[in-house]
């Protein structure tokens, strides 16, 4: 099959990954390949076999140099501290490993993301040469822009390097969420894991960790991001952050969405 569904977990998030995989096989009606990336552990073979899942182990992305930069240049504005407390988020770069070139298209879903309708809604998206992911701001929002993803005032050298490589215009550009995305695996040849890691260490001013770097490279350097449609072909909302997070019009329960990052109107123990 030309498309693989992929999710990623360390040992702490394994139960969430299992829930998303079960959703893919049941409500998602996905009969194709599912790849579970495990970070620094091996998933139980009997569980993988039962759900027809292929396990692929990677080790943690080395963030030691990045952490040293954070110690030398600590963030100064209020934030949630994920630059130090959620270093495992950088492991998402593994989704662009050459291993995935064996498929034409990859559908990535965060561990724990709710799947409430057919995966085919994502598989039918045309993504040749593109990465398709949700816009973090609704269409009417004119204020939520990329400058919110960067830490200013902490590391002057990194800031200088950023604007030597990128135009300041990117600060007012829209950006994507990376809790789910669909991409053409040929992009791996344009932007490899090593390129993402290099940018991670070069610009230690990312308030949203790997999401900031992914936007820098895919949205602004290579210009391959395409916003995910708001609606599926069925008329349902394709993606929602949370039912009550923003104005989704008449959509206000999990049944009104195909995929959701943080559903609260359904029992989360869906297994």
Domain boundaries, the chain: 3-235
Per DSSP, 56 falls in state E
pLDDT at residue 261 tops 90: yes
pLDDT at residue 163 tops 60: yes
Per DSSP, 197 falls in state H
Residue-level pLDDT at 267: 57
Rounded to an integer, the average pLDDT of 158-186 is 98
Q: Write out the E strands in 71-168.
A: 105-109, 114-115, 131-133
Rounded to an integer, the average pLDDT of 86-96 is 97
Crossing angle between the packed helical segments 64-72 and 193-202, to the nearest 10 degrees: 20
pLDDT at residue 115 tops 80: yes
CA nearest to 254, candidates 144, 71, 116: 116
pTM for this model (two decimals): 0.95
The rounded percent of the chain whose pLDDT value lies above 90 is: 86
Residue-level pLDDT at 271: 41
Determine the topology of domain 3-235 in CATH: Spore Coat Polysaccharide Biosynthesis Protein SpsA; Chain A (3.90.550)
Residue-level pLDDT at 21: 98
Look at residue 258 and give its three-state secondary structure: strand
């Amino acid at each position: 099959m030309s498309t693989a569904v992929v999710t990623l977990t360390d040992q702490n998030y394994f139960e969430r990954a299992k829930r998303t995989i079960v959703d893919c096989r049941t409500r998602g009606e996905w009969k194709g390949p599912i790849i579970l990336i495990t970070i620094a552990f091996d998933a139980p073979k009997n569980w993988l076999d039962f759900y027809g899942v292929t396990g692929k182990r990677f080790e943690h992305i080395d963030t030691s140099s990045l952490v040293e930069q954070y110690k030398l240049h600590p963030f100064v504005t209020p934030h949630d501290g994920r630059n130090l407390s959620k270093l495992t988020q950088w492991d998402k770069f593994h989704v662009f490993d050459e291993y995935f070139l064996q498929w034409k298209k990859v559908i990535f879903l965060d561990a724990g993301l709710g799947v409430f309708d057919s995966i085919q809604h994502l598989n039918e998206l045309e993504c040749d040469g593109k990465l398709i992911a949700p816009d973090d701001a609704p269409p009417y929002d004119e204020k939520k822009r990329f400058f919110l993803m960067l830490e200013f005032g902490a590391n002057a050298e990194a800031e200088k390097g950023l604007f030597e490589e990128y135009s300041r215009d990117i600060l007012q550009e829209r950006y994507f969420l990376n809790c789910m995305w669909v991409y053409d695996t040929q992009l791996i040849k344009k932007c490899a894991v090593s390129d993402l890691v290099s940018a991670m260490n070069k610009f230690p001013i990312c308030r949203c960790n790997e999401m900031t770097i992914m936007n820098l490279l895919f949205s602004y350097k290579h210009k391959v991001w395409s916003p995910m449609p708001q609606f599926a072909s069925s008329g349902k909302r394709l993606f929602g952050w949370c039912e009550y997070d923003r104005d989704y019009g008449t959509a206000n329960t999990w049944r009104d969405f195909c995929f959701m990052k943080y559903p609260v109107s359904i029992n989360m123990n869906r297994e």
